[in-house]
């Protein structure tokens, strides 16, 4: 079985759209998505600096736009009845589009709204996220509870992401759990925690206006790694995901149980494949980081089917 993965926030970088603009039709597509999102994606994806690209309201739509671009350019190479889609955090919107749940325009509208409301919630308090690498899960969870932090992502492969107030994240860095090290992440908010409750309510109101169809392929949920069968369930889970943990570890467990043999991560790829290689070393993997990877991705897909 072939799985297509879509990355989440943190995979953005300055100039990330620049190389894609050399491909015919891409500039026009980005201009269309700029109108839909209310964001200057051409400028943000080419000349904007690190801080502007890091801003949640910009980062999320840039990431999904890049994922959709790579999908459009690769989808003709993907065939077969047995496909699985999964996305990490905001990447779950890309995966929902790939699986036929959302149309292209609505996917852009949804991610733009998500980024806006989460950025607004982030501005209420100084909060952020840090990756905890190594250490026993039980020790990490206890330490987070001691510091009033939450396990926002459980990514498997010995990685848990803590989220909460900056002062508490600094205490975590000063005194990490036994056997673990801490690395601050380039995100500006305590995503997937109770700090996002106001964003969740606003997002819930917005998506009421959006049509969510039933998936036409296997689509996994960040909540618990389960297969989602209805559009209404996808909508509810995307809403609740804003203030609840991402269980990517359970998504990977489900991939193994369903017999995934090959995994392709769309652009801006690399992060998820790194986790997969450590957790599912028997699976063939490929990450699309930019348009220069498209030919190699075609070769990978030819062997996967």
Dump pLDDT digits (tens) for 201-225: 999 999 999 999 999 999 999 999 9
**What integer pLDDT is reported at residue 76 of this predicted model?**
83
Q: Say how far apart CA 202 and CA 192 lie, in whole Å.
A: 15
Catalytic positions, written as ranges: 89, 192
Strand order in the sheet with 127-134: 150-156, 159-165, 127-134, 180-184
Residues sharing a CB contact under 8 Å with residue 39, sequence separation 6 or more, in sequence order: 57, 58, 61, 112
**What integer pLDDT is reported at residue 83 of this predicted model?**
94
**What integer pLDDT is reported at residue 80 of this predicted model?**
64
C-beta of residue 222 within 8 angstroms of C-beta of residue 248? yes
Helix H or strand E encompassing 127? strand 127-134
pLDDT, tens only, 55-103? 999 999 999 999 999 999 998 888 767 899 999 999 999 999 999 999 9
**What integer pLDDT is reported at residue 217 of this predicted model?**
95
Q: Is 173 exposed, middle or buried (0-12, 13-18, 19+ CB in 10 A)?
A: middle
C-beta of residue 4 within 8 angstroms of C-beta of residue 260? no
Q: Say how far apart CA 95 and CA 6 lie, in whole Å.
A: 6
Flag residues of the chain having pLDDT under 50.
Answer: none
Q: Say how far apart CA 132 and CA 194 lie, in whole Å.
A: 20
**What integer pLDDT is reported at residue 187 of this predicted model?**
80
Tokens of 229: 């069968």
**What integer pLDDT is reported at residue 267 of this predicted model?**
97
**What integer pLDDT is reported at residue 186 of this predicted model?**
76
CB atoms within 10 A of CB 78: 17
Nearest to 286 by CA among 2, 36, 90, 19: 2
C-beta of residue 31 within 8 angstroms of C-beta of residue 55? no
**What integer pLDDT is reported at residue 157 of this predicted model?**
82
Helix H or strand E encompassing 277? helix 271-279
Delineate the domains of the chain, giving CATH numbers in brackets: 2-122+193-304 (3.40.366.10), 127-184 (3.30.70.250)
**What integer pLDDT is reported at residue 269 of this predicted model?**
94
Predicted TM-score (pTM) of the model is: 0.95
């Amino acid at each position: 079985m072939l799985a297509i993965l879509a990355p989440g926030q943190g995979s953005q970088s300055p100039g990330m759209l620049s190389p894609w603009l050399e491909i015919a039709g891409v500039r026009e597509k980005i201009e269309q998505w700029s109108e839909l999102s209310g964001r200057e994606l051409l400028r943000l994806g080419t000349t904007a600096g690190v801080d502007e690209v890091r801003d949640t309201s910009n980062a999320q739509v840039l990431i999904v736009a890049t994922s959709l671009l790579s999908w459009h350019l690769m989808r003709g190479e993907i065939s077969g009845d047995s496909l699985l889609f999964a996305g990490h955090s905001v990447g779950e919107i890309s995966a929902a589009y790939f699986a036929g749940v959302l149309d292209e325009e609505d996917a852009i509208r949804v991610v733009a709204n998500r980024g806006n409301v989460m950025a607004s919630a982030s501005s209420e308090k100084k909060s952020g996220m840090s990756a905890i690498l190594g250490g026993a899960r039980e020790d990490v969870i206890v330490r987070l509870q001691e510091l009033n932090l939450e396990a926002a992502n459980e990514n498997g492969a010995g990685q848990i992401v803590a989220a909460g107030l900056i002062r508490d994240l600094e205490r975590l860095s000063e005194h990490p759990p036994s056997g673990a090290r801490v690395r601050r992440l380039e995100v500006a908010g305590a995503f997937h925690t109770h700090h996002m409750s106001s964003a969740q309510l606003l997002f819930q109101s917005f998506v009421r206006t959006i049509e969510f169809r039933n998936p036409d392929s296997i689509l996994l949920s960040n909540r618990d790694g389960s297969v989602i069968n209805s559009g209404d369930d996808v909508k509810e889970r995307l809403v609740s995901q804003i203030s609840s943990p991402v269980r990517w570890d359970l998504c990977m467990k489900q991939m193994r149980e369903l017999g995934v043999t090959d995994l392709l991560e769309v652009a801006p790829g690399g992060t998820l494949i790194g986790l997969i290689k450590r957790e599912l070393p028997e699976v063939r993997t490929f990450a699309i980081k930019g348009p220069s990877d498209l030919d190699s991705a075609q070769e990978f897909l030819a062997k996967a089917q």
